Amino acid sequence: MSDTHSHSVAFVRTETLPQLPPPASEAGVVKWMRENLFSSIPNSVLTLVALYVIYQLVTGAFPWMANGIWNTNSLAECREILDGATGACFSVITERWNQLLFGFSYPSEFYWRPGLAFLLLFVAAAPVMFFDLPRKLLLFTAIYPFLAYWLVWGGTIYTPLFALLGIVIGYLVYARFVKDSFAMGFFGGVIAAFIAWFIGGYIVGAIAPAEPFLEAVQSRDMGGFMLNMTLGVVCVSLSLPLGIVLALGRQSDMPIIKWICVVFIEFIRGVPLITLLFVANVVLAFFLPPGTTFDLILRVIIMITMFSAAYIAEVIRGGLAALPKGQYEAGDSLGLDYAQSMRLIILPQALKISIPGIVNVAVGLFKDTTLVSVISMFDLVGMIRGPILSSTDWNGVYWELFMAASVLFFVVCYGISQYSQWLERRLATDHR
Amino acid sequence: MTSVTDPPQGSFRLSMLINDTRYRSYTFQFIALVLLIGFMAYLGINLVSNLAAQGLNISFGFLGNAAGYDINQTLVEYDSQSSHLRAAVVGIINTLIVAFLACVTATIFGVIAGVLRLSNNWVVRKLMAFYVEIFRNIPVLIWIIIIFSIMTVSMPAPRDFRGEDPSASMLFESFAFTNRGVYSPAPVIDGASGWIVIGVFIASIIGIFAYRRYATKKLYDTGQLLPMLWPSVALFFVPVTLVYFILGRPITLDYPSLQGFNFQGGLHLRGSLIALWFALAIYTGAFIAENVRAGILAISKGQTEAAASLGLRPGRIMNLVILPQALRVIIPPLISQYLNITKNSSLAIAVGYMDVTSTLGGITLNQTGRAIECILLLMLFYLTISLLISAVMNVYNNSVKLRER
């Protein structure tokens, strides 16, 4: 049929035409813009409004940033150089950078110590965060808290050493008894560790050298972004195990333990962090034995840890509740006891489900560490509002300082949330 | 092969307390209770001995004493001779005001940003993602201080509005943005007829809800669809306008005007209130945006397609199919965001807005030295508010919950 047609009908082409590109309006940038930006009238209006907003933002910020002055000693000098033109005075950041990071009373010759501790934090966190790395690195992670404490606070090395020793003894006792029952191993380990610390305290007091290798720095000398980082890292890492315990307690069948956990969690979650910081600042001293002096940072760490533990507990409770009942029954049917089925079956899955929530709490907690400036501790925000803005040189530089603070916080928080998204993808075991 | 034997009867040994699952839970609870009571007793004994050493006692009598400080924003009558209790009440009212304003504004911001993040317009989508990421990842305290600094440092002073050729001018001759806050016209209600207008307005709002209920019921009962939008709009505007002009315009606006060193008249929104309000709103709005986005994404695309295949128009698909289902996902996190706003409003103390943390937990505490009592009351207040908000929102949550048969 077809060949008769092609021969008999004159207007049927016999050869294939070369392929042409699609019309300009149906390809490339133009098509993309038509589909994405100007597909309808309301859409076009939205696009124009958005472009106007971006235009305003850029034209407002760009000259200010580009004209920025980085090397003067006071705001007056900056204004002189700018001579009425729009421009930022970034020199406050260059001049006070160390104060922004370390506070104003941390001895400047020791800045390398928190700096080193910060760098080592990445080494210590790496095997936890990226579990493809060799497992032996976890040994360094275990040592890190003591090392970091020694680097930042200084003093005799025997204190962190004996603290570490107590934990090692506790672990050995745990490993000896855990074969009989988890509870016995756990409580035995805790008691052994406490005994070791108690004895260790006396030994350290006796053998501590008068001139330690790293000079001791008082907690009240800490400040700046270092204080935010310290509070954030310490409180998150402490509140995670506490939160797991609270969540398990809240899900427990034992009514008394359950109610203790419920009351604790609901009370902490019902009040703002500021009131808890007030408690740390003015009330906690009333509840301690007369005559004890308790470091303010330690008090704040206790309160913030309790605060975030309550939130993490709720997140993990959600994870526990989200597990199908069959998982619990599977543990029972294998003959595992409570501790075994929790450790081997339930918690790994529940924690995986809770990762986004835990990271949310961690990021929120890190941001909330700025609240300590309200009880007149000189963290990053406290440094800016207090010593720097009230100094005669820099009175009136608001934008530059708050921009620096915002950038520091943004980098850390955004980094953590990006990591958590990567972790979620990495841990996704469901095949979709 | 061993058969399952009965648990050993009668022979109770001490080791069974920890090794036998029947008794173990009692052991643990007993230990926990003893530890808890011991810990509480330890704290209590310390408290008593510390208070005795400092010659203090626990008493709430100080609440009746004269406060002796001024509060710059009060809705109820208050002067420096009023009691500490009254100062606390003023603070509570101020907390509730800022929390309410911020909740409403944050919801608006959040819903708009959340919906726009799903827009198929690339620029808008990216702009909203930028907004969400920037505001979520920077502490709210920094936002509060930034906005407060803008209000106090970058805005013109009231004296800039004076003279023949002022360097600042009022917006529409009625709004003045100054470094002391925003001055705006305030409504002045003129006697009883003014209140009648307000009454009519409230009645017409109730009328709108009643009408919509009636229309929905009629739709479900008979399938007859009454128009919703136009009657609502008419009910909103027509009666109140009619009454307003019939009664001879009993509500007028009091415009702020420059007198002496400052603006007089009108409504004065302080810089601290605005900073707290907007910072909480834009910060929490970014979180709400993510909740809204997650809620809409949680509804499967098949729902949209099914609704479209039934012939519904896009607006109706959103209103009748997507949003009712998405609300179920959105409401629970929204509750906690409202709670967060209420709790974060305690940051007022950083900018000098006189909320309950600043009055009861700030000046009153410092003046009387009654730290334990003040903070106890403060915590009780926030606990009550938190429980109330979650109770109210849970009632609403139950009303939109999925009803399964």
Its ipTM equals 0.85
Sorted by sequence, the CB contacts under 8 Å of residue A212 that are 6+ apart come out as A154, A155, A156, A157
Is residue A356's pLDDT more than 90? no
* Closest chain A C-alpha to B311 CA, distance in angstroms: 21
Lowest mean pLDDT among A86-90, A224-228, B142-146: A86-90
Q: Would you say residue A258 has pLDDT above 80?
A: yes
Mean local confidence (pLDDT), A386-398: 82
Record the tokens describing residue A353, joined without a space. Answer: 């489900």
Q: What is the pLDDT of residues A146-195, one digit of tens each?
A: 888 888 887 777 888 888 888 888 888 888 887 777 777 888 888 888 88
CA pair distance A243, A309, nearest whole angstrom: 4
Mean pLDDT of A39-65: 86
Q: Measured between alpha carbons, how far is B84 from B356 in angstroms, rounded to an integer?
A: 11
Rg (CA), chain A: 30
Per CB-CB distance under 8 Å, the chain A contacts of B346 are: 272, 274-275
Is B243 within 8 Å of B204 (Cβ atoms)? no
Chains A, B: CB pairs < 8 Å: 159
Of A37, A274, A290, the CB nearest to B357: A274
Is A255's Cβ below 8 Å from some Cβ in B? yes
pLDDT in tens, chain B (405 residues): 445 555 555 677 777 776 676 777 788 888 889 999 999 999 888 888 888 887 777 777 777 777 777 777 777 777 777 788 888 888 888 889 899 999 999 999 998 898 888 887 888 888 889 999 999 899 999 999 888 888 887 777 776 666 666 666 666 666 777 777 777 777 777 777 777 878 888 888 898 888 888 888 888 888 777 777 788 888 888 877 887 787 777 777 777 777 666 777 667 777 788 888 999 999 999 999 989 988 888 888 898 899 999 998 877 888 888 888 888 888 888 888 888 898 898 888 888 888 888 888 888 888 887 888 888 889 999 999 888 888 887 788 787 776 766
The C-alpha atoms of residue A132 and residue B222 are separated, in whole angstroms, by 64
Residue B21 to residue A337, Cβ atoms within 8 A: yes
- Is residue A229 a contact partner of residue A198, using CB atoms and an 8 Å limit? no
Residue A7 scores a pLDDT above 60: no
Q: What is the pLDDT of residue B166?
A: 66
C-alpha–C-alpha distance, residues A354 and A244, integer Å: 11
Of B33, B121, B347, the CB nearest to A46: B121
End-to-end CA distance of chain B: 49
Cβ–Cβ contact A86 with B under 8 A: no
Q: How far apart are CA B167 and CA A352, in angstroms?
A: 59
Say if the Cβ atoms of B29 and A255 lie within 8 Å: yes
Locus of tokens 């009619």: B242
Q: For A392, phi and psi rounded to 5 degrees?
A: -65, -30
How many whole angstroms separate alpha carbon B42 and alpha carbon B48?
10
CA of A299 vs chain B CAs: smallest distance (Å): 15
CB B15 within 8 A of CB A184: no
Among candidates B28, B149, B383 on the partner chain, residue whose Cβ is nearest the Cβ of A271: B383
Q: Return the amino acid letter for B45.
A: I
Tell me the nearest-neighbour CA distance from A167 into chain B, angstroms: 22
B76 neighbors B93 (Cβ within 8 angstroms): yes
A31 has a chain B CB within 8 A of its CB: no
Q: Do B382 and A51 touch (CB under 8 A)?
A: no
pLDDT at res. A4 = 54
Concatenating the DSSP letter of every residue in B108-143 gives HHHHHHHHHHT-S-HHHHHHHHHHHHHHHTS-HHHH
Taking CA–CA distances from A410, the nearest residue in chain B reads B137
**DSSP letters spanning B227-294:** --HHHHHHHHHHHHHHHHHHTT--EEEE--EEETTEEESSEEEEHHHHHHHHHHHHHHHHHHHHHHHH
Q: Which residues contact B387 (CB under 8 A, 6 or more apart)?
A: A270
B140: chain A residues, CB-CB within 8 Å: 367
A374/B350 touch (CB, cutoff 8 Å), yes or no: yes
On whether the CB atoms of residues B106 and B337 are closer than 8 A, the answer is: yes
Q: Give all strands (DSSP E) within A11-96, no chain letters.
A: none
Strands of A37-135, DSSP E: none
DSSP B72-85: S--SS---TTSBHH
Contact B141 A253 (CB under 8 A): no
Residue A101 CB neighbour total at 10 angstroms: 21
Distances (CA, A) of B334 to A25, B243, B276, B285: 44, 38, 19, 10
Show the tokens assigned to A97: 């950078």
A180: Cα within 13 Å, side-chain hemisphere: 15
Beta strands in A57-106, from DSSP E residues, in sequence order: none
- What is the C-alpha separation between A424 and A410, in angstroms, rounded? 21
Residue A228 and residue A384: Cα distance in Å, rounded? 13
pLDDT score at A321:
86
Distance of CA B278 to the CA centre of its chain: 12
CA distance A404 to B220: 58
Tokens 């309000």 -> residue: B277
Angle B5-A342-A169 from CA coordinates, rounded to 5°:
100
Smallest Cβ distance to A409: which of B32, B138, B344?
A: B138
- The chain-wide mean pLDDT, for chain A, equals 84
User: Distance (Å) from the C-alpha of residue A105 to the closest C-alpha of chain B?
Assistant: 23
CA B15 to mean position of chain CA atoms = 54
Instruction: Find tokens 């986004």 and name the residue.
Output: A356
Q: From the list A39, A278, A374, which residue is nearest B375 (CB)?
A: A278
Location of structure tokens 């229309």: B215
Element at B188 (helix H, strand E): strand B186-189
- Positive or negative, the CA dihedral B268, B270, B273, B278 is positive
Cβ pair A409, A418 in contact under 8 A: no
Q: Note the pLDDT tens digit of each residue in A32-51.
A: 887 777 777 878 888 888 88
Burial class (CB in 10 A: 0-12, 13-18, 19+), A89: buried
Chain B residue numbers touching A373 (CB-CB < 8 A)? 141, 350
Residues of A in contact with B357 (CB under 8 A): 272, 274-275
The span from the CA of A74 to the CA of A95, in Å, is 9
